[in-house]
Amino acid sequence: MTSHDQNFKNLILDYPREAIAFLAAEEAHAMDAGCRIVPLREEQLKERLGERFRELDVALLVEWSDGRREAVVFLIEQTSEPNRFNIHRLAHYCLDLAELLDLTSIVPVVVFLQPGKVAQTLQLGSVQRTFLDFSYLGVHLSRLPAQDYIDSPNLVARLNLPNMAYAPEQRVDIYASACRGLTELEPDTERQLKYVDFIDIYARLSPAEQAEYQQRYPKENQDMMTFSQRFTQQGRQEGWQEGRVEGWQEGRQEGWQEGRVEGRVEGRVEGRVEGAAAFLQRLLVRRFGNPLPAWATECIHSAGDEQLLLWGERVLDATSLDAVFAARH
């Protein structure tokens, strides 16, 4: 099952400034370029909040560079099922956190992945007077027009295009814009690989739509081929480095020279093969749909480095899984 909580937690922690700008725009305008954003560790809050309250996805502490304004905590929660949202729990969390950090500037933000009716405010009081009036910033992704963000320079917005509102016939274009945003706005290879998965999970292209994407967006296909080569090379470098470290540690116990040699060889081979296998499997899922048949998975995990690279070169041109694995051993 897809862990939406973990997907969005990773997204917010990797891109906190972009997340605040997209999800809490009315509050983010006061943030200057020099402000410091620090994720608050959940471990600091568990004992205080008690077992009956589930921690929110992410709490971000924003400290202003001029030092003249009180720090602000942005509490960002993702709720995939609106009917499970509990505004009382959210208010309780905000009050506990405000007391714990001795702050009054708390901005609660709730991201709703699916449509549904939710409580907008919480008021406690009597006929004569209201004693507690609590609300939050609600971001209903499925209500946001994707067209408004299709060329957004905010990476968090671009990655969430598949979660927004658009006509079914626009799905391929929305997917392409999200992928283009990832390659244009995120230069880091590791994160590109990480968030290609994010886009795929929420776009849910059918095999026919995947084929349409391949045909209509050849540049993006070429970018993916380049990305594949970069990722494979990175796997080789990381495997060599890991093997070098492991070999050095083993060598201290069983003979430095022997450990160094074995560590290099094993690390290079394992890193190269595991990196190529993981990426090949991702490409096949994007090209032909998920899940892959058992025989294909077995082939990938039992193949050597050169065989994996050969299959990887066939992915973009092949019209079927059988064509990719032609003449397999």
Given a cut of 50, whether residue 252 has pLDDT beyond it is no
From residue 198, alpha-carbon distances to 6, 41, 181, 259, 327 in Å are 11, 23, 13, 39, 33
Question: Phi/psi of residue 187, each to 5°?
Answer: -80, -15
Cis geometry, peptide bond prior to residue 82 (ω within 30 degrees of 0): no
Give alpha helix (H) positions in 50-118.
Answer: 87-101
Given a cut of 90, whether residue 137 has pLDDT beyond it is yes
Q: Where are the domains of the chain?
A: 4-143, 205-324
Parallel, antiparallel, or unpaired for β 106-112 and 36-39? unpaired
Question: From CA 64, how far away is CA 231, in angstroms rounded?
Answer: 38
Give alpha helix (H) positions in the chain.
Answer: 4-14, 16-23, 25-28, 43-49, 87-101, 155-159, 171-185, 189-203, 207-216, 218-254, 256-288, 294-302, 305-314, 321-324
Quick one: average pLDDT of 237-257?
A: 49
Q: Is the pTM value of this prediction over 0.75?
A: no
Question: From CA 180, how far away is CA 172, in angstroms rounded?
Answer: 12
Q: What local confidence, expressed as pLDDT, does residue 238 receive?
A: 54
Question: From CA 12, how far away is CA 216, in angstroms rounded?
Answer: 31
Residue-wise pLDDT for 70-104, tens only, equals: 788 898 888 888 888 999 999 998 998 888 888 88
Q: Enter the tokens of residue 157.
A: 């917005």
Question: From CA 73, how far away is CA 100, in angstroms rounded?
Answer: 12
Q: What local confidence, expressed as pLDDT, does residue 185 receive?
A: 96
Q: Which of 229, 181, 232 is nearest to 203 (CA)?
A: 181
Parallel, antiparallel, or unpaired for β 106-112 and 72-79? parallel
Residue-wise pLDDT for 115-136, tens only, equals: 999 999 999 999 999 999 999 9
